[in-house]
């Protein structure tokens, strides 16, 4: 499904960018450029051709691995993305790891101690974290930790300290989602018959929870974590803007403003392919978490 999905994504993104108002040649050259210069640049970019022709030419070149050059910088599209992607993946990975370290243990604790003070506090924290807008929390974090306390930098991505505030800002809603999902799946799992059997055999509560219940409850959590990670790769636009981080998110925003169709489409293809490959990895990971899935694959082979 990778190829047809990418073709559909190219068509949608390329079509939306082509139909939006604005002349890319005018945006690049400025308002003082002569009509002849604007017409010449439009012809050089191929923007004077019909949409269907431009789309067909783009797909044909993309099939050969040529995604064109950025209209704004003149550099190859994927070369520009390759320079920005490491920053985005570091930020997204740090956010996901932090969210898992916070959300999953709190979710397990809330499920094991259902209706206790730990459960109430955990679910309340999850609702609070899920309701906070990321851009607002980022601005408040900058005002408090950067401007008032002067503990952490407010922008850029030059060192490990620069990633703390944006990673925490990104991790908050993800941790809330994982906390609630982990609690729900754990509650369903610990009520199963095999959990009662394990307890009846005299196994300690720790072994029952972590060896039997948690491993089976992790499947939906792994899926959600993979989807959240893939979503963060393309959804860090707001946070990168707030913290002035030169990642793929800022690259997409700048390209959209200048109606740089090759750059926007290239970013969309890259992020879509990354998300699909990540979800494939999650599916493969299922076999190592759940022996039943691994056994079904072995029977098919």
Over the stretch 135-163, which tens digit does the pLDDT of each residue have? 888 899 999 998 888 888 888 878 888 88
Three-class DSSP category at 69: strand
Q: What local confidence, expressed as pLDDT, does residue 296 receive?
A: 61
Q: Does the 81-300 domain belong in CATH 3.40.50.11540?
A: no
Residue spans per domain, the chain: 2-63, 81-300
Which pLDDT belongs to residue 111?
A: 86
Distance CA 180, CA 193 (A): 23
Q: What is the pLDDT of residue 224?
A: 86
Write down the pTM of the prediction: 0.80
Q: Which residue has the tokens 């190219």?
A: 10
Tell me what pLDDT residue 297 has.
58
C-alpha span between 167 and 93 (Å, rounded): 9
Q: Mapping DSSP to helix (H, G, I), strand (E, B) and coil, where does residue 135 land?
A: helix
What integer pLDDT is reported at residue 301 of this predicted model? Answer: 57
Would you give the end-to-end CA distance of the chain in angstroms? 22
Q: Using only the alpha carbons of the chain, give its radius of gyration.
A: 24
Separation of alpha carbons 51 and 53, rounded Å: 5
CA 163-98-269 angle, 5° bins: 70
Residues of the chain with pLDDT under 50: none
Compute the CA torsion angle 133, 136, 139, 145 (nearest 10 deg): -70
Query: Could you report the per-residue pLDDT of 69-105, keeping only the tens digit for each?
Result: 887 788 888 888 888 888 888 898 999 999 999 998 8
Only one residue has tokens 């959990």, namely 195
Helix intervals (H) in the chain:
2-19, 24-29, 35-45, 51-63, 77-112, 117-131, 134-141, 160-189, 193-200, 205-207, 214-235, 237-242, 248-257, 261-289, 291-300
Residue 295: predicted pLDDT: 61
Per the DSSP assignment, residues forming a β-bridge with 76 are 69
- Rounded Cα distance between 66 and 45, Å, is 15
Q: What is the pLDDT of residues 49-77, one digit of tens each?
A: 888 888 888 888 888 878 888 877 888 88
Distances (CA, A) of 249 to 176, 193, 209, 263: 23, 47, 40, 12
- The Cα 5–Cα 146 span in angstroms is 43
> Are 253 and 117 a contacting pair, CB within 8 Å?
no
**pLDDT score for 126:** 85
Measured in degrees and rounded to the nearest 5, phi and psi for residue 207 equal -65, -40
pLDDT at 99: 92
Q: How many CB atoms lie within 10 A of CB 296?
A: 12
C-alpha distances (whole Å) from 114 to each of 106, 120, 190, 198 are 12, 8, 11, 20
């Amino acid at each position: 499904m990778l190829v047809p999905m990418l073709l559909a994504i190219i068509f949608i993104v390329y079509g939306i960018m082509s139909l939006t108002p604005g002349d890319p040649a005018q945006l690049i050259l400025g308002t003082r450029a002569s009509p002849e210069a604007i017409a010449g640049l439009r012809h050089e970019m191929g923007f004077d051709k019909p949409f269907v022709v431009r789309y067909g030419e783009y797909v044909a070149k993309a099939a050969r691995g040529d995604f064109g050059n950025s209209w704004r910088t003149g550099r190859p599209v994927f070369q520009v993305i390759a320079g920005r992607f490491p920053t985005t993946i570091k930020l997204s990975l740090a956010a996901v790891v932090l969210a898992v370290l916070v959300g999953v243990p709190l979710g397990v604790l809330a499920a094991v101690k259902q209706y206790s003070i730990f459960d109430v506090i955990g679910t309340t924290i999850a609702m609070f974290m899920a309701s906070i807008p990321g851009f607002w929390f980022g601005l408040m974090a900058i005002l408090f930790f950067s401007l008032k306390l002067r503990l952490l930098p407010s922008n850029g991505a030059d060192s490990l300290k620069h990633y703390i505030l944006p990673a925490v800002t990104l991790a908050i809603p993800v941790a809330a989602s994982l906390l609630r999902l982990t609690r729900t799946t754990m509650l369903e799992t610990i009520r199963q018959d095999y959990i009662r059997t394990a307890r009846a055999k005299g196994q300690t509560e720790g072994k029952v929870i972590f060896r039997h219940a948690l491993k089976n409850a992790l499947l939906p959590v792994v899926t959600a974590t993979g989807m959240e990670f893939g979503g963060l790769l393309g959804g860090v636009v707001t946070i990168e803007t707030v913290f002035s981080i030169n990642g793929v998110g800022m690259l997409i925003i700048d390209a959209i403003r200048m109606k740089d169709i090759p750059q926007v489409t290239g970013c969309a293809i890259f992020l879509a392919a990354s998300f699909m490959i990540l979800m494939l990895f999650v599916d493969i990971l299922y076999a190592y978490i759940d022996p039943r899935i691994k056994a079904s694959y072995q029977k098919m082979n």
